[in-house]
Amino acid sequence: MELSAFDLHGKVALITGGAHGIGFSIAEGMARCGAKVCFNCSSQSSYEKGVAAYQAAGIDAHGYIADVTDWAAVQAMVARIKQDVGPVDILVNNAGIIQRKPMLETDTEDFRKVLDVHIVGAFNCSKAVLPDMIQKRAGKIINICSMMSELGRETVSGYAAAKGGLKMLTKNIASEFGGYNIQCNGMGPGYIATPQTAPLRERQPDGSRSPFDAFIISKTPAGRWGEAEDMVGPCVFLASDASNFVNGQILYADGGILAYLGHQPQ
């Protein structure tokens, strides 16, 4: 295989929730591989921070504000992108939220909101870009799944349900549109060192790891938290021609957590 199979020049990539964190790193990586990057966010403040971050990275990105759970807003956003840059070739459904509460303390509306952002948002954005992909008989949809697509954990009932649903939406899109040379796959990050997880990694007063930090390290064969940059390679692969016969799969970039039972008791 030629290295050019990983080249994204001439491709238009839309990354939802792409103003910061993992979404920003994925967008930055795709831009370095030649893609024209469009990012979505849900607020003016996030948009402004995103624009500043892309400018600082030397990337000419196009930003759009839209609530991914609002079908009309998503339709309008994708139409604007088509007018401004061109039809979307690569969609990364990265927008998401998490609420950490015990299930019995979680309101139904809060549970539903998490599902709406992850599942309805991915459905809306995919539905909006698919007609152009069908017409061109080419397209890549990457859904950002999670280890919670496979495993449960206390306090994240909504997030786990949403990520499990997103895994199956991935497989269904692959099944329904594979005949048009459209590939839909998922990428599942492990525990990633981001500003949002920084409190979980703070050292104890004696310099030791916090209990949760130590737990994650003990469960990860790589022996470390992932970095946002670790997510770039898998997504570039799934966005490129190198993955043209990969469809309906979930690629976990988790340092080996899902493959590992843990240390044998001494």
pLDDT value of residue 130: 98
Residue ranges of domains in the chain, CATH in brackets = 3-190+226-259 (3.40.50.720)
Q: How many CB atoms lie within 10 A of CB 139?
A: 24
Beta bridge partners of 187: 144, 251
Beta bridge partners of 252: 188
Q: Taking 90 as the threshold, does the pLDDT of residue 265 lie above it? A: no
Q: Which of 250, 72, 253 is nearest to 165 (CA)?
A: 250
Mean pLDDT on 229-250: 97
pLDDT in tens, 153-192: 899 999 999 999 999 999 999 999 999 999 999 999 999 9
pLDDT value of residue 194: 86
Model confidence, pTM? 0.95
Q: What is the distance between the alpha carbons of residues 36 and 14, in angstroms, rounded to a whole number?
A: 9
Residue 242 tokens read as 């190198």
Residue 108 tokens read as 């139904």
pLDDT value of residue 140: 98
Of 54, 64, 159, 252, which is the active-site residue?
159
Q: What is the distance between the alpha carbons of residues 47 and 21, in angstroms, rounded to a whole number?
A: 13
Q: How many CB atoms lie within 10 A of CB 33?
A: 16
Instruction: Please give the full DSSP string across 81-94, using - where no structure is assigned.
Output: HHHHT-S-SEEEE-
Q: Taking 90 as the threshold, does the pLDDT of residue 149 lie above it? A: yes
Q: Taking 70 as the threshold, does the pLDDT of residue 134 lie above it? A: yes
Q: What angle do CA 66, 230, 32 make, to 5 degrees?
A: 65
Q: What is the distance between the alpha carbons of residues 227 and 24, in angstroms, rounded to a whole number?
A: 12
**Active site (annotated) includes residue 159:** yes
pLDDT value of residue 200: 83
Q: Taking 70 as the threshold, does the pLDDT of residue 145 lie above it? A: yes
Kind of pairing between the strands at 12-16 and 90-93: parallel
Q: Give 135: exposed, middle or buried? Use CB within 10 Å, 0-12, 13-18, 19+.
A: exposed
pLDDT in tens, 185-220: 999 999 999 887 888 899 989 989 999 999 999 999
